[in-house]
Structure 1
Amino acid sequence: MLKEERFKIIMKQINLHNKVLSVDLSKLLNVSEDTIRRDLKELADGGHIVRVHGGAISKSLVRPFIADVNVYSIEEKRIIAAKAVKLIENNMTLLFEGGTTIFELTKVIPENLNLTIFTISPQIAISLSEYKNIKVFTIGGELKKDHNIHVGAHTINELHRIRFDLCFMGVNAISVERGMTDIDMEVVEVNKAMFEVSEKNVLLTIAEKLNLSQRHQVSDLSDIDFLITELDCNNPFLDGFRNQYSHINIH
């Protein structure tokens, strides 16, 4: 496989999942990890990605406020945000994860709603600070620098002290067989805690992440109440989730 072809596949994986591991790319592309490391270095030197220990992450994941950062599938994420905001009602207490889809949601909340919003993401908290009628709280803990969210035991303990009406969360990968999965175990543990402390849980994902799977399971989807994509809710692509998880409201 030519280097240019590898680059296209690597960028696709990073844009889709936000973070990739060198070992996974090595298996996917059937090349050595040394080759992958050289590829990632070249892509990082060119300003396309951000290298981290063991792999790489999307620039939009860590710098969503930079105007020249191209967010992957931005139009689809705006459609998802427009659907998700309809679930928010006055005087709710909400829990927001981080990521670019949640960031789009923060932009479309009606100005007249009185809300209390907690988040594990410093960036999401800053985005919400523009609203006069929203009380914003951050759930503290260790900052996972390659995700810009808080993780660890302190974060999980703080989450368990509060009850939320709705939890809004992005998705790394989701499938009928394995449910919601992620590449990072620290993120998985915090996501599990977020589901446990919320009355209802909302997953936001672009359709490209459907029927994909990562190594660590967050939930088998029994904890999920709403699944929101950019697709029409009756799209046949969603039939597997509709048939397997009839309790989930698909939007």
Structure 2
Amino acid sequence: MLKEERLQIILKMLETNQRVTSLELSQILNVSDDTIRRDLNELDQNGLLLKVHGGAIPKSSTPYKLKERVNFAHEEKVILAQKSLEFFKDGQVIILDNGSTNMEVAKVIPLDMKLTIFTNSIPVAQILSEHPSVELFLLGGKVFKDAQTTYGHDVIEVLGQIRADLCLLGICSIHPEIGLTIPDYEECQSKRKMVEVSQKVIALVTADKIGTAENFVVCKYKDLDIMLTDGALYETLPAEYRGKGVEIK
């Protein structure tokens, strides 16, 4: 069997099963462990999967550039935004992380709700700048143009001076063992600080993020307080996500 055929089979198995092990690949493809290791390394380096101990799992299929993500799974994001309002109360200090889902959250905050919101998202700040009752702080730092977000030392320093009631965390991938992950190291550091300084952390999760992982870990899955899903995902969520101290709604 040619290498290109093996790689396609590996990716097809991963798409179907959401995880492959080196042992099963070696047996099914009738090649050595070393060959499988090289194949997985190549696919990992090309960004087609994430190599983990004993095998591989998928990477997120969500586009990374914000302008490409805005209309991706838009209906689900609107549902999640509406559900998030259950946790908002007058007088709270909230960290609203970057991301297209949190843009939808910013749009639905009631106009009479008095909140103090810190955000690293330029589009979220633009939306909330029209809100009459929100005291708004845009975290200043280096601008990550693709994601339209700020990050870096200045962002982390300001976050260190906050004790937030609530953080709505933007994520690329969520895995019950690996945790919440994203593909950019520097942005990861800002998100880790958000988790650290918040009393309650909520992830708004669309189906495409489930069972996938990127290279940089924001936090462990159990560090979440709440995972919000839409109705369809709630019904089909794998059992591995349940019973780990995270409230799923």
Q: Within 5 Å, which residues of 2 pair with 1:1-251?
A: 26=46, 28=48, 57=65, 59-61=67-69, 71-231=71-231, 235-243=235-243, 245=244, 247-251=245-249
State whether residues 102 and 170 of structure 2, in contact with CA within 8 Å, keep that contact through their aligned partners in structure 1: yes
Inter-CA distance 210–234: structure 2 relative to 1 (3 Å threshold):
closer
Structure 1 vs Structure 2: percent identity of aligned residues?
31
Amino acid at match of 2:46: S
Inter-CA distance 209–129: structure 2 relative to 1 (3 Å threshold):
same
Aligned-residue offset at 1:233: 7.7
Amino acid at match of 2:83: K
CA–CA distance in 2 between the matches of 1:128 and 1:27? 35
Inter-CA distance 90–240: structure 2 relative to 1 (3 Å threshold):
same
Normalising by the residue count of structure 2, what TM-score does the alignment of the two structures yield? Answer: 0.73
Aligned-residue offset at 1:232: 5.4
Amino acid at match of 2:48: L
Amino acid at match of 1:138: L
Aligned-residue offset at 1:109: 0.8
State whether residues 233 and 250 of structure 1, in contact with CA within 8 Å, keep that contact through their aligned partners in structure 2: no
Q: Which runs of 5+ in 1 are unaligned?
A: 2-22, 30-48, 50-55, 65-70
Query: What SS does the corresponding residue of 1:137 show, helix, strand or coil?
Result: strand
State whether residues 185 and 216 of structure 1, in contact with CA within 8 Å, keep that contact through their aligned partners in structure 2: yes
Aligned-residue offset at 1:59: 2.5
Query: What SS does the corresponding residue of 1:168 show, helix, strand or coil?
Result: strand
CA–CA distance in 2 between the matches of 1:150 and 1:160? 15
CA–CA distance in 2 between the matches of 1:132 and 1:116? 12
Any idea what the Cα deviations from partners look like across 1:191-217, whole Å, max 9, x if unmatched? Answer: 100001111101111012111111111
Any idea what the Cα deviations from partners look like across 1:107-138, whole Å, max 9, x if unmatched? Answer: 11111211111101122111011111111111
CA–CA distance in 1 between the matches of 2:217 and 2:95? 21
**Aligned Cα root-mean-square deviation (Å):** 2.4
Runs of 4+ in 1 over 4 A off after TM superposition: none
Q: How many residues align?
A: 197
Query: What SS does the corresponding residue of 1:86 show, helix, strand or coil?
Result: helix
Any idea what the Cα deviations from partners look like across 1:62-94, whole Å, max 9, x if unmatched? Answer: xx5xxxxxx101001001111111110111110
State whether residues 122 and 138 of structure 1, in contact with CA within 8 Å, keep that contact through their aligned partners in structure 2: yes
CA–CA distance in 1 between the matches of 2:47 and 2:160? 38
State whether residues 174 and 221 of structure 2, in contact with CA within 8 Å, keep that contact through their aligned partners in structure 1: no
Q: Which runs of 5+ in 2 are unaligned?
A: 5-42, 50-62
State whether residues 97 and 169 of structure 1, in contact with CA within 8 Å, keep that contact through their aligned partners in structure 2: yes
Any idea what the Cα deviations from partners look like across 1:36-67, whole Å, max 9, x if unmatched? Answer: xxxxxxxxxxxxx8xxxxxx735245xx5xxx
Query: What SS does the corresponding residue of 2:231 show, helix, strand or coil?
Result: coil
Larger radius of gyration: 2
Inter-CA distance 106–28: structure 2 relative to 1 (3 Å threshold):
same
